[in-house]
Amino acid sequence: MPESLPLIYLARHGETVWSVSGQHTGRTDLPLTAQGERHARRLGERLAGVRPACVLTSPLERARRTCELAAFSPVASIDPDLVEWDDGAYEGKTPAEIRRERPGWEIFRDGCPGGESLAQVAARADRVVAHLRAIGANVLVFSSGHLLRVLAARWLGLDGALGRYFFLETAALSILGYQRDLTEPVI
């Protein structure tokens, strides 16, 4: 990626007890585990040379704490559109538990009863993408896995459902950018 074009650094929050157990964690505001805090500090070490023009974070504690431990909270702004997918009735359940009730269920296709649809999450992701492009400089974003996966798909101009093909481990760092110019978004 050419150095003159902006980069968007996507940082997923560190580990929580529910990310370890595989439970869907939408709006439940869980703290990081001790391991999650260590990983967040290591993420900060990986980002030590990055000087973003802007730092944005989800309002949820797990993202804000990851941002803080990575040493970016003094310059961070909360963006409510970066909050994780609202899992509604599936909050706290594992995919296996959900599929016992609803065989073949897939969040990126089916959404969550009482929570958000893919279209609603994609609309938020589109607002974030528009904001990031308007900044026109390097930006660091702290959020959660499902939202970041939809955001990556929408960055590329793809249907948000294709976010299912992007995987982000806790405390993962991904970079969105451009290949040759602003008309060629890439991961």
* Residue type for position 85: W
14: nearest Cα among 149, 172, 166: 172
Q: What is the DSSP string of 39-72?
A: HHHHHHHHTTT---SEEEE-SSHHHHHHHHHTT-
Strands of the sheet containing 173-178, edge to edge, are 76-78, 54-57, 139-143, 8-12, 173-178, 185-186
Please answer whether residues 37 and 14 qualify as being in contact, where contact means their C-beta atoms are separated by less than 8 angstroms: yes
DSSP conformational letter for 174 = E
Residue 74, SS3? Answer: helix
Supply the residues annotated as catalytic.
Answer: 13, 84
